[in-house]
Amino acid sequence: MKTRLVPALAALVLALAACSSGTGAAKDTGAGNADGSPEELRIGYQLIPNGDLIVKDQKWLEQALPDTKITWSKFDSGGDVNTAIIAGSVDIGLAGSSPVTRGLSAPLNIAYKVPWIFDVIGENEALVAKSAGSIADLKGKKIATPFSSTSHYSLLAALQDAGLKESDVKIIDLEPQDIQAAWTRGDIDAAYVWTPVLGELEKTGKTLISSKDLAAKGKVTADLAVVRTAFADKYPKALSVWLQQQDRAIKLVRSDKDAAAAAVGRQLNLDPAEAARQIGQLVLLDGKEQQSAAYLGTPAAPGDLAKNLHSAAEFLKSQQKIDAVPELSAFQQGLAVKELSDAFTG
């Protein structure tokens, strides 16, 4: 759920930009099968208790695309997914709205689109402290979060809302598992992170604010699917199948919560009760809901997700995290609304 533009990545971006209008289209997955399906579909997933883990656990894609090799690769953050998309090694991946905002902005300008919202983030991401009674009490303290993630974005928003500047605290860049280790050692005073690590921190810490609280203040975050534009253009039927399996997972959550929790629990190594609790912290949307004006929208009317990403870009620019704010149209064009519509019509 984050984006790092380290020197090596910056060099890669410049190299790819020289031969493409947008990064992320440098490599394809082969000539494809006779039926038009890809020889391989490479998926970048994260350990987040949403429908993607159900699709993986139930092997629905393997069943629906029998002639396609389905390769699942685990990533710790959306920034790493961005890097993999740029390198052309992932076709569809999960990244938070903050790294996607950065991906659709300069200098990255990644050639990908958003065809699906995995979840709207709620209580599954939060700021937890060891002893502070309020966010203001964190002044001068060490706070860990994965840089440029949705958690990082939310942490900056929470500090601003509490009247603190970024310089008033010491923010440390750590991946979730490293955050848990640093918390145990006593190296940090607080952390903004997501489940399942969040659940471990909450056992000994106090939640000061969640992403659900921040959403009520206008700082909405989400876990989004991104698909390489080249892949979506070449294999529209495969993308439709992928979208239909994601929709199937949401319907399973609603029709058989026990089965859904068991599937997510297996993927996260959690007991079903805890998996069910974590699933319940997210807002999950089926295919019809995704096409509403509040979310992705339709080809005729792109939804509010584009506005949310544009608003996030304005905030990131104010925090000097991106160089410039793209026009709203850039985010509207970054929504794969036609592909989403095609998957659920006809």
Mean pLDDT of the chain: 91
| 254 and 298 part of one domain | yes
Cα–Cα distance, 337 to 102 (Å, whole number): 20
pLDDT tens digits for range 292-311: 999 999 999 999 999 999 99
| 112 and 261 part of one domain | yes
Q: How many helices (H) and strands (E) does the chain have?
A: 17, 10
pTM for this predicted structure: 0.85
Q: Please tell me the predicted confidence (pLDDT) of residue 91.
A: 98
Does 1 fall in a domain? no
Q: Name every residue whose Cβ is closer than 8 Å to that of residue 154 and which is 6 or more positions away in sequence.
A: 125, 127, 192, 211, 214, 219, 221
| 159 and 62 part of one domain | no
Q: Please tell me the predicted confidence (pLDDT) of residue 321.
A: 85
pLDDT tens digits for range 181-194: 999 999 999 999 99
Higher-pLDDT residue of 338, 28: 338
- The residue from 168, 199, 216 where one domain ends is 216
pLDDT higher than 80, residue 105: yes
Q: Name the token pair of 49.
A: 């208790």
Least confident interval from 94-103, 147-156, 219-228, 239-248: 147-156
Does 208 fall in a domain? yes
Cα–Cα separations (whole angstroms), residue 186 to 145, 170, 178, 225, 288: 15, 15, 12, 35, 46
Q: Please tell me the predicted confidence (pLDDT) of residue 51.
A: 98
- The residue from 216, 231, 254 where one domain ends is 216
Provide the number of structural domains found in the chain: 2
Does 2 fall in a domain? no
Q: Given 3-state DSSP classes, what are the helix, strand and coil percentages for the chain, each rounded to the nearest 5?
A: 45, 20, 35
Q: Please tell me the predicted confidence (pLDDT) of residue 217.
A: 87
How does residue 216 score in pLDDT terms, banded at 50, 70 and 90?
confident
| 173 and 197 part of one domain | yes
**Owning domain of residue 133:** 125-216
The fraction of the chain above a pLDDT of 90, given in percent, is: 82
Report the CATH number at residue 164. 3.40.190.10
| 327 and 295 part of one domain | yes
Q: Please tell me the predicted confidence (pLDDT) of residue 319.
A: 83
